[in-house]
Amino acid sequence: MSAVITRKALSRRTLLRGAGTALALPFLDAMAPALAAAPAPVRRLGYVYMPMGAVWSYWKPTSADLKAGLSRTLQSLAPVANRVNVFGNMELKNAYPGTHATSNAAFLSAATSKWTESTDYYLGTTADQIAAQQIGQQPKLPSLELSMDLLTTVGQCDNGYACVYQNNLSWSSPTTPLPAEAHPRVAFERLFGDGGTPEERRSQLRRDASILDWVSSDIARLQRNLGASDRNKVGEYLDTVREVERRIQKAEAATKESPLPDLDRPVGVPASYAEHARLMFDLQVLAMQGDVTRVITFQLARETSNRSYLAETGVAEPHHPLTHNGGNSEMLGKVAKINAFHVSLFSEFLQKLAATKEGDGTLLDHSIYMYGSGMGNSDIHDHINLPVIVAGRVPGGRFINYKEATPLANLHLTLLDRAGVRIDKFADSNGKIAEL
């Protein structure tokens, strides 16, 4: 069934349809009249998880003015420093007794993980899912959960804690973890597929063709009824969709030519970690452009990851063993390089959001993203001085370093409030962040 395109104001929910395809559109000038009575622009919340903390001496900014005080680890944030805040002395008390599993689980829940190796696990509803309940109901997907690793391990993973705590950032209830998707193809199909099972969508969206081929008639009809500015916006958006799809197809073709298994990664992802991560970030940009979802979580790597980042950082050793360093300066320096690399990927993403126009602003103007870890010093598994960055639709350009330990739950409560989600308390919060 084709979208009905007229010279009247377009609905924000207009879709271009084809066999197995429902392609959402970016915000267009032609949609503005229909939204004239809307109380506020679209608000979005996103979360990016970095495992195993950070080396604080390399991470900590040197002044409250972030632009002037970016540390070695945070240098890549320079192009967006005025849109970013870095926080110091944030704490997750409920993540103790101090494990990798509880670090991951508490990051978005600020809750205590029930100590169990079985299926009677219990945590808390995470901040992203509280947001999804209120701001995620209009879009196609209430929320989108992404990761970089296959998170299929079961049983106990860390000091008697069930693997479910380490595998899942998002929980829609204390007993309902939401699995994350690491495969770009499957995530792409979730964004642009039109119902059916994953197998049905995969057969409909042919590997050797573009989804844009399935909606070409709707595209042509739409373009004939848009002004020049909107035609350019749609053209740029469709070019991005096609480019992301091309990169997915290229990765799948490479897998067929060299099908060497990687137990931590899905089959058919880019061979390069950096390219895989950039692809997953680009899918988030597309999801926001088309208003497919307004709540996103992304796990850059699992806790206890033994991934090596030799190509990206020159560090050959696996990440996790390096974090247990006893204060060895050489090992700390190598961990800091890995931290800096992860931050650079986030910075690239923020720059793309800032460059993507939407209405009277950009995607970054209409989004809040929180980046960080549930662990501070990974050598001793503590949960103080958490590395935390907040970017987007909040006052920026500052290093906000508290004199006393401040619950991370306070930041969650504040960001929910800024996104229009009103609750009185979140986990162990004792107030809101006045600086935001």
pLDDT tens digits along 74-98: 999 999 999 999 999 999 999 999 9
Q: Where are the beta strands (DSSP E) in 72-119?
A: 84-91
Q: How far are the Cα atoms of 58, 301, 328 from residue 325, in angstroms, in the given order?
A: 15, 20, 5
Q: Which of 325, 367, 397 is nearest to 68 (CA)?
A: 397
**CB neighbours of residue 134 within 10 Å:** 16
Confidence category of residue 413, pLDDT binned at 50, 70, 90: very high
Q: Which residues contact 279 (CB under 8 A, 6 or more apart)?
A: 184, 244, 247, 248, 251, 269, 270
Q: Are residues 33 and 57 in the same domain?
A: no
Q: Are residues 48 and 10 in the same domain?
A: no
CATH of the domain at 130: 3.40.720.10
Long-range contacts of 176-180 (CB under 8 A, 24+ apart): 177/121, 177/123, 178/129, 178/143, 178/145, 179/145, 179/151, 180/145, 180/146, 180/147, 180/151, 180/297, 180/298, 180/299
Structure tokens at 195: 């119902």
| φ, ψ dihedrals at 60, nearest 5° | -60, 125
348 exposed, middle or buried (CB, 10 Å; 0-12, 13-18, 19+)? Answer: middle
Q: Which residue has the higher pLDDT, 1 or 127?
A: 127
314: left (phi over 0), alpha (psi -120 to 50) or beta: left
Euclidean distance between CA atoms 66 and 87, whole angstroms: 11
Query: Do 174 and 165 touch, CB atoms closer than 8 A?
Result: no
Longest alpha-carbon distance in the chain: 67
Q: How far are the Cα atoms of 44, 279, 393 from residue 362, in angstroms, in the given order?
A: 12, 20, 10
Query: Do 148 and 276 touch, CB atoms closer than 8 A?
Result: yes
The confidence score (pLDDT) of residue 2 equals 44
Q: Are residues 143 and 279 in the same domain?
A: yes
Q: Are residues 302 and 258 in the same domain?
A: no
The confidence score (pLDDT) of residue 424 equals 96
Mean pLDDT (the chain) is 90
Euclidean distance between CA atoms 408 and 376, whole angstroms: 12
Q: Are residues 257 and 311 in the same domain?
A: no
DSSP H helices, 261-316, are 273-289, 310-313
Query: To the nearest whole percent, how much of the chain has pLDDT over 90?
Result: 76
Lowest mean pLDDT among 70-79, 157-166, 199-208, 366-375: 199-208
Domain edge (last residue) among 204, 233, 268: 268
Q: Which residues contact 134 (CB under 8 A, 6 or more apart)?
A: 420, 421
Q: In what order do the strands lie in the sheet with 398-407?
A: 144-147, 295-299, 44-49, 367-372, 388-392, 84-91, 398-407
The confidence score (pLDDT) of residue 38 equals 47
Task: Indicate whether 385 pLDDT > 80.
Answer: yes
Q: Are residues 315 and 423 in the same domain?
A: yes
pTM of the model: 0.92
| φ, ψ dihedrals at 217, nearest 5° | -70, -40
| φ, ψ dihedrals at 131, nearest 5° | -65, -45
Q: Would the CA dihedral through 238, 14, 279, 211 be positive or negative?
A: negative
Q: Are residues 425 and 338 in the same domain?
A: yes
Q: How far are the Cα atoms of 115, 247, 283 from residue 18, in angstroms, in the given order?
A: 48, 22, 20
Query: Do 129 and 143 touch, CB atoms closer than 8 A?
Result: yes
Confidence category of residue 1, pLDDT binned at 50, 70, 90: very low
Q: Are residues 262 and 335 in the same domain?
A: no
Q: Are residues 178 and 193 in the same domain?
A: no
Domain edge (last residue) among 268, 287, 318: 268
Give the tens place of pLDDT for each residue, 153-185: 655 677 899 999 999 999 999 999 999 999 999
The confidence score (pLDDT) of residue 31 equals 87
Task: Indicate whether 206 pLDDT > 70.
Answer: no
| φ, ψ dihedrals at 246, nearest 5° | -60, -40
The residues that bridge with 171 in the sheet, in sequence order, are 177
Q: Are residues 261 and 388 in the same domain?
A: no
Task: Indicate whether 34 pLDDT > 70.
Answer: no
Q: Which residue has the higher pLDDT, 388 or 32?
A: 388
Give the tens place of pLDDT for each residue, 339-364: 999 999 999 999 999 999 998 899 99
Confidence category of residue 381, pLDDT binned at 50, 70, 90: very high
Structure tokens at 86: 């870095």
Give the tens place of pLDDT for each residue, 237-251: 999 999 999 999 998
Q: How far are the Cα atoms of 207, 215, 244, 263, 372 from residue 250, in angstroms, in the given order?
A: 10, 22, 10, 21, 31
Q: Which residue has the higher pLDDT, 112 or 153?
A: 112
Residue 278 belongs to domain spanning: 44-182+274-436
Three-state DSSP at 22 gives strand
The confidence score (pLDDT) of residue 14 equals 86
- How many domains does the chain divide into? 2
Domain edge (last residue) among 268, 299, 319: 268
The confidence score (pLDDT) of residue 17 equals 86
Task: Indicate whether 312 pLDDT > 50.
Answer: yes
The confidence score (pLDDT) of residue 263 equals 57
| Average pLDDT of the residues in 199-218 | 69
Q: Are residues 173 and 235 in the same domain?
A: no
Q: Are residues 50 and 94 in the same domain?
A: yes
Q: Which of 293, 298, 317 is nearest to 307 (CA)?
A: 317
